[in-house]
Structures are given as C-alpha cells and as structure tokens.
Structure 1
Amino acid sequence: MKTISRIRNTAMALCLIATATAASAAQYKFGHYFSTEDFRGVTAAKLAENAKAASSDFDITVYPAESLVKGRDALQATSRGTVDFYSVFAGYLTGSVGLMKVFTIPFPVAAYDDARMMAFANDPEVIALLDKALEKSNVKLLGFINSSGQTPLFFREPLKSLADVNGRKIRGVGGYSDNALKAMGASIVFMSAAEQFIQLETGGVDGVITTESSYVSLGLGRVAPYATASTVLRTPYALMMNKRKWDRLSDADKTALMKAVKETIDWSNTHFTEESDRLAKATVEQAKAMYEFTDADWAEASKARNAAMAEFVQENGEDGTALLEIFKRYH
C-alpha cells in the first residue's frame, strides 16, 4: 500500500501541473473521468510516470475527472486529437466499435475473475482484432490498463429476484448487459458516472449498473443502498492514443511507450486484488442489503449470457467469431 499511497499523494501534481522538461520533449494530454484518488486515476498517473521514465520524449499531463473530456466523448476526442490519450470503460466504446461488446457479455461465470478478464483483454490476438477496429476511428489501442472489478446492480428500493428489474429505470453501460435487462423488462437510461448520484436521489433512475469503485467513491450507498452480490459484467479500461500521434513516434519511442504500458498493466494487476478487496468491504458497509442470486436467477442469467454470445457473432461476423472463441478460452 506504500506504493499506492505515494502515487496518490503525487497524483494531483502530475495531473494539474505540466512537468518542466527539455525543449525536445513532446507535450501530451491524457484524459479520464476518475478522481485522482480513485485506483483508476492512480493507474493513469502511474502510466504518465512510467512513460516519462521510459523516454524523456514523453511529457504527459493528466486531466482527471472529465476536466478536459467527458467519458462518453472519449473516442471522438481521442480521434480528433483533443486528447492524445484516454483511459475509458470499454462499454462506452460499443456504440462505435461493435467488437468491444465482447466485454459487455452479461453475468460472467465465477471463474471469470479480474485476472482472467485482464489476461483475455490483453491477449495479443485480442489486441490485434480490436486495434484493427479502432484504427477506423483514427485511434490506436495500446492495451487495457485496469479492470472494472465487480460491476453490480444498485437500487433505490429492495430487489426480490432478478426478474424484479421489470419496470425499473436503470442506468446502463452499453452493449449486451443493457440488452439483457431490457429483455427482462427494464428501461435503460444513459448518463455519465458523475450524474448517477443526482439521478438516483431525484428518482431519475431506479437503479444503476456501476463499479464498486464508483459506488464507494461517489457515496451512492446514500441513494442506492440495495445491491446485487453478483456482478452484471466485468469490463476493462482501454488505453487509447490518437493514431496520428502514434504514427509520428520514432520506433524507439513506440518501444518505450509500450514498455511503459506493460509496466502499468503489471502494476495495476499486482495491486488490484488488494484494491478489489477494499472496495468489496466498503460496498458491503455502505449498502443496506446485498441480494444473492438464486438458482432461478442464475438460470436466467445464463440464458442472457448465451443470447449475448450468439448475437455477438451474428453482429460481428468473422472477427466476432474469432474473438468469441478466444473469450471462451478464458471464460
């Protein structure tokens, strides 16, 4: 925890003040929508630190908490060069990149934990397929630097069964998890992570799909005290870079940047188990009740998962078939 604390203590300086560098160093903007204290924000600061250590050509200023670009606008902003880098929940990309929907296949089996999900996401074959798809948007996929961890359902009112989502307005995160809830009778509402508290407080939505990290950091237990013990999905955060900026890098700097990305992924994977345990404990403490799925619930969940996989192949053709086969090896 000393390493995490040290990075947390310096993250604000990394995010808000451009480091004085030599004239030859290029200036880069790195956007995300987490607080600097959030583990995902800490990981972003770690990437900037690692890139600078790997090559003096990288001077990366991090813009946290949607201070430069909102999460929902991440792909467009990275494509246009408004930001050079962005760390974004993969579900936010599904509207433009159909292959990203593989990360929204709902109700994963217990064996598909954070470690397996991150191994799948950063499998070289997976990166190659997704990078090819993102290239059409002038975006380079560098890798996946964080797991979302548990991403349950949280509600204003108690849940008696999974079927009880019928008639409720739920903040979705994109892709097949939303489709599954729609099929169960829920209405899906889209909003940024920052809007969740006020929408729950005012009754704009009855529940949200969100990470335990967001639940704890945003204090959602005050307005959504009822949670599912099981995750709806487990999704990574994509690290994207403007493709033109990537193409302009020297071979040496490309190698240095990818070294920094790998070091950041390794650091995140090493420390996330501890972070995940902390978040799980904090979620239980903030929630009034945790709903455990029954066998009947899991039967419905399995049906939704299988339907999503079939739809994924139908929508994404040959590349979708190839990606799903890799997914099944890890799932």
Structure 2
Amino acid sequence: MQKNSLLKVAAALSLMSAAGVAQADTMRIAHGFPAQSIVDDTFKTLAQHVEENTDLDTEVFALTVLDLKQASPGLTSGVADSTMLLTAYFPSEFSEQNFVADLTMVANLGERPTSIGATVGGALMEYVTMQCPECVGQNLAQNQIGLAFAPGSQFSLLCKEPISSVADVRGRAIRGPVSVFRRWAETMGASPITISANEVFDGLNQGLVDCTINAVGEVSNLSLFDVVGGITPGMPGGTFGGSGIGQLNLDFWQSLSLEDRKAVARGMAKATAFMVTGYMKQEVLDLQTARDQGIAIVEADPGLQSATKAFIKDDIETIKAIYRDDFGLENVDEKVETFIGLLEKWKALTDPLDPTDTEALTELYWTEIHSKLNLETYGLN
C-alpha cells in the first residue's frame, strides 16, 4: 500500500511538473478509472495506435493524476493531453453536448438499435463535430477539442429481486446515474436515489437501494454479483451519452502536424469502437455469469415497456425546457430534430454490424466522421 501510494505521488508530480511545457513528442493520457478497466484498456488501445503511426511517445495514467471531477480543469490547464471527460459532471461548461446526451433513450423509439452504444456514439460524434458549432465553441472555451464519445450498452435494472412490471417498480428505491433516469423512476412510482457508482454495492447490500440503473457490464465492474438477485435487460434502456473518450487539450492538438492529427483522429475512432464493443462483450459475459449464479434474468412486461415509451416521448419536452430555461440554449426544437435524425441515420448504419466487431465499427466511424473533418482547421477557430 505504501509503495503504491509513493508511486502514485511520483507519477502525479512528474506529470504535473511537465504541464505547460510544449511536448509535441509525447502524448500524456490521464483518466479517472482504475487500471485494467474497459476505459483503461481503451486508452491503451489509443496509445498503441498513436505510437505505431506517429513519432509520438505515449504515457497512460489510470486514476493516479486526474479523477473524474478533475478531468476538465486538468485537461484545460495541460496536466494531460487527453482524458475521459464525463460531461455531465460539468453541466454549464458543456451544456450544448449534455443537451443531446440526455436524449439517448429516444434511440429506443421504434425499432431498438442492435447496439445503442454504436448508434448513440455515432450520432453524438457527428452532431458535436459537424452539426453543432456551439459545442465546438464550448470546448474551445475550455482550451479543449472533442473528437469522440463512447457510450456503453443499454441501461438495465440491476435489482435485489426481479422486476418486470410497473407494479414491481412502484415504491422501490431506485438509483439513477443521471437526472433523466431519476425522472423515469419517479414517473413509474419509485423513489429516485442519487448515490455514486462507488456506493452502489453498499446501497444494495444494506437495503438502502432496491435497484440501480446501469449497463449490465457494471455487474462485474462494480462487483455486484453477490447483491443482485434480478436483472431486467434493456429496461429502462438508453445509455450514458456524456462519455467523452476523445477529449484533447487544445494546445497539444495545435502542436501536432497534420499527419499526426490524422493518426490521433483515427486512433480515436479505433478507441471509441473498442470501448463500445467492449461493453457489448462484457454484457454477454455478465449475463451468462448471472445465470450460472442463479440470478434471475427477466423481461419487462408489455405494461412497463409501454409506460417507458410514453415517458420517453414526454421527457423530450422536459429536456428541451430544462436546457432552454436553465442553461439558456437557443433553437432547442431544431437541435432535437437534428439529433433525432442522426440517431435514425446511425441506427441504420450500425444495425447490420456484429455489435462486438471492433474493426468494422472502427472503419465506420472513421469513414463517416473522422475522415471527413478538416483537421487543418478543426478546433482552431
């Protein structure tokens, strides 16, 4: 323990001492997730691609230099060149991106996508980089650029006992990771609970929480197999849209040659696909492990499905009002219409793919998004 602490301090001091110094020869990646997590493996994938396709060296720091709440200010100040930015932690600074990130449940209206992460990821990246100058402007105001978003799989009910109907949900204490899922719980008659991901195990174990809304893959990531008795896959659905896997320090980006920018952008497409497909693979593994351990896997009944679809349609207007009135966003109707169109476009593009095929999704993201950006000027004006 003492040795690990000393190593963490040494790494932090080393990285922070380098902050502010132009280092076009090194890409410093610091994120707030544990080592050997999907996020850490994602950034290692990015680092490997960058080293193989540029003259840059890379360093990846997992949960030693920046935690999740330090990600944006750390990137702004140059403590790191790249990080994983959860934009919901910074509601005012990234309100334009958070606005559409709150609309992920809309992807489930009509036919559900084969991979909601692939669909929403594509729609978010195209919207932020190509359709939303206000998003680019908010990034620039933080001395950052955004190249990629990597949502996970469908959010599901991970509960102490099986939940399949509105009656089952009613009266339960349900933890929602962001406000849209807490509104869903309240609409269904449950008591919405706000606790951090690190508190979920204790909350379920101690009976303070009956369910948490998370991707199925979080059962293993959060070590919940001993406290979960029932899983309702894809209910309420949606995903966490504010997972900015491709966030870069602007000064670092400006220091790169055009060829290096292209390599980094392609690496972001690869890293995003790696993370999205990684969550799909983890879901398959966790569902099988749950079955093997006797955890009930139940389907939401038609009543709960119908009530959830009605909530999604009504909540679109709630989201518009929140961002118009509380954050001062303009043209919210047009922006929602644009984003919903992109969701349908990306549903059609990603549905034919194997949801675990990293290479195919990488090529799709590169062809449809990153290769189309003018990397000579993107993020520089």
Structure 2 length-normalised TM? 0.69
Q: Secondary structure at the match of 1:281?
A: helix
Q: Give the letter for the 1:233 counterpart.
A: G
The alpha-carbon distance between structure 1 residues 269 and 200, as it changes in their structure 2 partners (threshold 3 A), is closer
**Which residue matches 2:30?**
30
2:129 maps to amino acid: I
Alignment of structure 1 residues 52-201 onto 2, 5 Å: 52-63=51-62, 66-88=63-85, 92=89, 96-98=93-95, 99-105=97-103, 106=105, 108-109=108-109, 111-114=112-115, 115-122=118-125, 124-128=126-130, 129=132, 130-144=135-149, 146-159=150-163, 161-201=165-205
User: Would you say the 8 A contact 1:221–1:287 is kept in 2?
Assistant: no
Cα 1:246–1:89 change in 2 (3 A) is same
- Counterpart for residue 218 of structure 1: 222
Partner in structure 1 of residue 248 of structure 2? 241
Structure 1 CA distance for aligned equivalents of residues 41 and 92 of structure 2 = 27
Q: Which of residues 307, 312, 322 is equivalent to 2:338?
A: 322
For structure 1, the residue ranges without an aligned partner over 5 or more in a row are: 1-15
Give the letter aligned to residue 290 of structure 1. I
Question: Would you say the 8 A contact 2:27–2:81 is kept in 1?
Answer: no
Separation of aligned partners in 2, 1:183 and 1:117: 24
Aligned to 2:316: 309
CA distance in 1, matches of 2:212, 2:313: 23
Deviation at 1:262, TM superposition (A): 2.3
- The answer to whether the 8 Å contact 2:181/2:213 transfers is no
Pairwise CA RMSD: 3.2
User: Take 1:73 and 1:203, find their aligned partners in 2: how far apart are those partners?
Assistant: 31
Does the C-alpha gap of structure 1 residues 290 and 148 become closer, same or farther in structure 2, counting only changes over 3 Å? same
Distance 2:263 2:298 in 1: 46
Structure ID, larger Rg: 2
Structure 1 residues 24, 73: closer, same or farther in 2, change over 3 A?
closer
Q: 1:26 to 1:44 in 2, by over 3 A?
A: closer
Identity of aligned residues (%): 18
Match of 2:195, SS state, is: coil
Aligned to 2:318, what secondary structure does the other structure show?
helix
What residue ranges of structure 2 are gaps of 5+ in the alignment? 1-10, 15-22, 324-328, 348-381
Separation of aligned partners in 2, 1:292 and 1:204: 24
Give the TM-score, by structure 1 length.
Answer: 0.78
Query: Residues 257 and 27 of structure 1: is their aligned pair in 2 closer, same or farther, counting only changes over 3 Å?
Result: closer
1:50–1:307 CA distance, 2 compared to 1 (3 A):
same
Alignment length, in residue pairs? 307
Moved more, 211-220 or 156-165: 156-165
CA drift of 1:302 comes to: 0.5
